[in-house]
Amino acid sequence: MTFVVDCMLGKAAKWLKILGFDAVFFSRAEDDRLLSIARDERRTLLTRDHALVARAKARGVACLLIESEVWEEQVRQVLVDLDLLGEVRPFSRCVECNVPLKPLSRENAANLVAPFVLEHEKEFSLCPACGRVFWPGTHHEDMEAKIVALLKGDTIPIS
Q: Any contact of residue 147 with Zn ion (CB under 5 A)?
A: no
| Cα 147 from Cα 103, distance rounded (Å) | 21
Estimate to the nearest angstrom the gap between the alpha carbon of 19 and the chain centroid. Answer: 6
Q: Any contact of residue 110 with Zn ion (CB under 5 A)?
A: no
Q: Any contact of residue 102 with Zn ion (CB under 5 A)?
A: no
Residue 12 or 101 having the CB closest to Zn ion:
101
Considering only 110, 129, 145, 148, the residue that binds Zn ion (CB under 5 A) is 129
Considering only 130, 144, 148, 153, the residue that binds Zn ion (CB under 5 A) is 130
Q: 16 near 56, Cβ under 8 Å?
A: no
| Cα 65 from Cα 77, distance rounded (Å) | 10
| Cα 130 from Cα 157, distance rounded (Å) | 32
Considering only 94, 104, 109, 113, the residue that binds Zn ion (CB under 5 A) is 94
Nearest approach, Cβ of residue 148 and Zn ion (Å): 25
